[in-house]
Chains A and B, each alone.
Chain A
């Protein structure tokens, strides 16, 4: 039995909303995150015409900030320091180091070998492939196997894309076969392709490719990416992407498993209200005089602890996801304080922010990112970091963070299902739309993600094995279809209720939130609705702990 209602939500479904005149759980008037829905963006992506795909970028937020600071700067030295940061060498040409001269242009022309390679165990039977190549057809990244040996395949992809573009004046978006989808995304000088046998929709796959593209932009900036290929169409981008393969690998696994990507939202580390407030205060009191600081972000285990920002500016969830991915994937931040250029594509794809990145202390795995427009700010920020860490320690914040990270059983947010006390609920995930934050019953445990990653590295193969006990990852996998129906542009559903002998799934979207719940099988609709009501009340009661309910500025 399944029912979908598009416009008329059943009368009693309104009950939870009307029960109290308050805002939906988690909502607040000011948000640190920019709540643009990624699905909306997708729609605009898809409606873009051929010409628009050669990316034109709007004005730079970073230069805007820099000039604002300069206007108010009394110190003439500061004025002189205005920089348009760029990885390019002075003359604007590609860097001309000695090692560039021995560029060997290798093109696997041997198509026979290529064919054999495509049949090799490294490549067959994978659930999802991702390939990235330049519009000239040069391989840049392959999720499995060695992209060098895939020059032949890349040539074919490039030919397909360009034939449709040139002869039909059209864009190649999807190719569907019986059991497989191929999704294409041409962005600036790059072609990204996903070939998938998973249950992800075309939309979801395109979003993933967009993320992969943004990951590359975050290392190079869009300006530089475009310029490189303008100067040399045949450039082998891998030379500039050291370490990027690892980042993209991790990102792809992360996107398949963490509902944050499915929902376009950020997960917060559940913390006692007072603890979060103390942490935020430690940052604001230390940093309020550092004029070039744009964002101070504290994260732990892919969860946001706090975000303090320059007035007027917010971050997009997808930029935060890229930061999560960078921190999770880089060991080098753990051993020392780092100072690195970072481009946040949604914030400003044309330039770099400079990031001071460090863990709070040996005994607390929270990572602090201080992002500035000033490339010489390291010393100032390094001092600020030590002051912040000291203040946090004195206010017992480190203990609070560790308790949350170690999932201390005494916290009601550690095992929410136990505290909600509705035994029929197996799993849920909730997104507050106005603040782009999410909460789920079983935060993807990092160990499990790690496990999965390891398994995936070896395999990524399709397995038919019957799953006996579902993990959070499997629940998220099951929600994909529902999520897609809810965001379907043509006929969006508001409420979906599907009961089967396996489980009962309810998904519900309102103006304020999105909710996905898995119940025991063959659950009655009325019963489920009552349970959802209680669930929402619980989330409301806990909202100050599980969400960031304010939007602090420096």
Chain B
């Protein structure tokens, strides 16, 4: 289950919609009825994806945004191939936090691809909330990064697109694919050895 080709981690303030994004992507559902509950620690999901006719398994880490886990979050993003940093366009505070994560990733995991994700697009489009983070600022920041998406977990808009882009980017990255092939080989080797052992034990 946890033997995944790509490790993707979600970061961002509490309540920005990380868990909703993962649930929409993995289970194709969104339930506005369920009252908000913060994530405890971090949650792991796996999903199979395709890129250019090839199959990949991806492991997604949905971390808790609460400050309480801040220093712990490093154990979740260590070794990640890609990070999605979420913010709410209607919350300046969530943007400030995003900059913090960006800095943190650059210093600790410099080879990790970084994607920005503005959440709750439906609220913005519907005029239920006011944009606090100017688009130009977001654009300036995302220039140096691997992508920026505005998503809605409620309608599903841009959610699959975001994850597909990540997988396509990773699959096209020679360096990343070298390690993926290596670890796949290693795993099959281990499995072979293990099953031999099991046979002997009987």
Contacts and interface: CB of A to CB of B under 8 A. Distances in A.
Contacts of B43: 332, 335-339
Contacts of A86: 71
A26 interface: no
A242 B37 CA distance: 9
A239 to B, nearest CB: 6
A339 B2 contact: no
A355 B99 CA distance: 29
B14 interface: yes
B1 A386 contact: yes
B42 A335 contact: no
B141 interface: no
Interface residues of A, number: 41
Interface stretch (A8-16, A59-67, A377-385): A377-385
Interface residues of B, number: 36
Interface in A363-391: 375-376, 378-379, 382-383, 386
Interface of A is mostly: mixed
A89 to B, nearest CB: 5
Interface string B31-64: 0001001111111110000000000000000101
Interface in B70-128: 70-72, 75-76, 93, 96-97, 99-100
B1, B43, B96 pick with most chain A CB within 10 angstroms: B43
Given A326-B40, A330-B37, A332-B43, A242 B23 contact: no
B179 interface: no
Contacts of B100: 97-99
A120 interface: no
Given A97-B97, A376-B75, A382-B44, A239 B34 contact: no
Which residue of A89, A102, A333, A339 has the most chain B CB atoms within 10 A of its CB atom?
Answer: A339
B68 interface: yes
Contacts of B1: 337, 382-383, 386
Given A98-B97, A332-B39, A386-B1, A219 B68 contact: yes
B41 A339 contact: yes
Contacts of B27: 335
B44 A337 contact: yes
A383 B23 CA distance: 22
Contacts of B71: 86-90, 95
Contact of B72 (A87, A243, A383): A87
A240 interface: yes
A97 B75 contact: no
Given A335-B23, A383-B2, A87 B42 contact: no
Given A243-B38, A376-B75, 11 more contacts: A85-B72, A99-B97, A99-B100, A331-B37, A332-B38, A332-B40, A337-B44, A338-B41, A338-B43, A339-B44, A341-B41
Interface of A: 85-90, 95, 97-100, 102, 219-220, 239-243, 246, 326, 330-333, 335-341, 355, 357, 375-376, 378-379, 382-383, 386
Interface of B: 1-3, 13-14, 19, 22-23, 27, 34, 37-45, 62, 64-72, 75-76, 93, 96-97, 99-100
